[in-house]
Amino acid sequence: MTAPAQALSSRPDRIVGIGAVFLAVLPLSTDIVLVALPVIAGSFGTALAGGHQIMSVFVIGLAVAHLFVGALADRLGRRPVALVGFGLYTLASLAAMVAPSFEALLAARFVQGLSGACGPILMRALVRDTVAPAAASRRLALTGTISGIAPLLAPTVGILVAQAFGWQSSFAVLALYGAATFVLILWLMPETLATRSTAVSYITPDIVRRLFTERGFVFGSFAMAMGYGGLFSWISTGSYYLTTRTGLDPLVTSLIFAAGSLCFMLGGLVAMRLRGAPEQTIRIGAAIGATGGLLALVLALAMPDQPWFCLPIMLFYCSWGIVQPPSINIAMRDHPAIAGKASALLGLVQLGGGVVLSWIVVALGAGPYALGLMLFSTAAILLASHFAKRPQA
């Protein structure tokens, strides 16, 4: 165990709490604005495509940051990178709040994603710094479950403040979150990196080749990309589908997304209690997700103007809570010396998968296609899990 890990072994709750706050920045930055997307896009004269751009440009910023944030965290340490990242995130949120044009809003969202990337990247690196690989899945599941409290409340808070004070207030809430996290880092976050790199080492072709020739990383990143692709396709288009096709009130729509976050938390709790190999846990989660995707698609096609398909979607949320922690563990467990860069490349693959798959869904017209992607993505993970058994030493 490294020196930072020894110092923190008696305070694991601190790392879990900080990691949960870091991880929550990603779902908060999407969930708090997703229900207000029709209002935001409408105020700038755009529709479904514009709303999807507001969501996807944030994710693109996240993906770009994964090219260098992990390397900086390995060179400079976790704490200074976190301070700069959340400070810039706060400023970007304020810029989005006062954006005078749609282009300015997209630019602010890109910077928001660029800086907010330090959250999920550093969360994974903190766990890898301080937890033995055998216990990492449970710690990641606990961190993800706690972080789920924020997106559980975010959709309802987002629509309420947007209705009361205008859509700009959604970004004001994100600015407050960024500022509060900055203060948390100053007061409570220790440095967990035991040995810093002697130079800034970015993700090179050699590192990419090394990681993508290792079976665990390939499978873990594939599972993360497919699972997030199904989720992001739904959250970036679902509010339009529910409000325009089924006629649901935006507040009711926000409660549906909040229920999804609750199911994600429940999935994390299930993942914590499953004692089998990580691959087995993923197999169970993917089977649940494929069942939910199939039922949701059938109901949406049979009753296109009714929101009953939202019920089996909750199974997909639950499956993502189960699949995510062991997927991260499998991808990173054999790469302690380059944990920051492995985390960054893993996140890049995850986010890239989300953007690409969601653009395909939007090009097809969204709606039931997003539900079909839930079925396809989880079925693909389930199939791949049968080829992902770790070779015996």
| pLDDT at residue 202, rounded to an integer | 66
- Per DSSP, the three-state class of 309 is helix
Closest CA to 343 of 59, 122, 15: 122
| End-to-end Cα separation, the chain, in angstroms | 22
Alpha carbon distance 285, 316 (integer Å): 9
Report the pLDDT value the prediction gives residue 28, as an integer from 0 to 100. Answer: 86
Residue-level pLDDT at 11: 56
pLDDT in tens, the chain (393 residues): 444 444 444 455 677 788 888 888 888 898 888 777 878 877 887 766 788 889 889 989 988 887 888 778 888 888 899 999 999 999 999 999 999 999 999 999 999 999 998 888 888 778 777 776 666 667 777 777 777 677 777 888 888 888 888 889 989 999 999 999 999 999 888 887 776 666 556 678 888 898 998 889 999 999 999 999 999 889 888 888 888 788 888 888 888 988 988 898 889 888 888 878 888 999 999 999 999 999 999 999 999 889 999 999 999 999 999 999 899 889 988 887 777 678 778 888 888 888 889 888 888 877 888 899 999 999 999 999 887 665 544
Domain boundaries, the chain: 3-188+203-385
Distance between CA atoms of residues 57 and 80, nearest Å? 25
pLDDT at 393: 43
- What's the pTM value of the predicted model, to 2 decimals? 0.77
| Amino acid at the residue 313 | I
Q: Which residues contact 134 (CB under 8 A, 6 or more apart)?
A: none
Structure confidence at residue 314 (pLDDT): 96
Which bin fits 99, alpha (ψ -120 to 50), beta or left (φ > 0)?
beta
Q: Quick one: pLDDT at residue 110?
A: 96
Percent helix, strand and coil across the chain, each to the nearest 5: 80, 0, 20
215-240 and 250-273 helices, crossing angle to 10°: 160
The yes/no answer on whether domain 3-188+203-385 falls in CATH 3.40.50.10540 is: no
What is the number of other CB atoms lying within 10 angstroms of the CB of residue 91? 17
Which residues are CB-contacts of 218 (< 8 A; sequence separation ≥ 6)?
Answer: 212
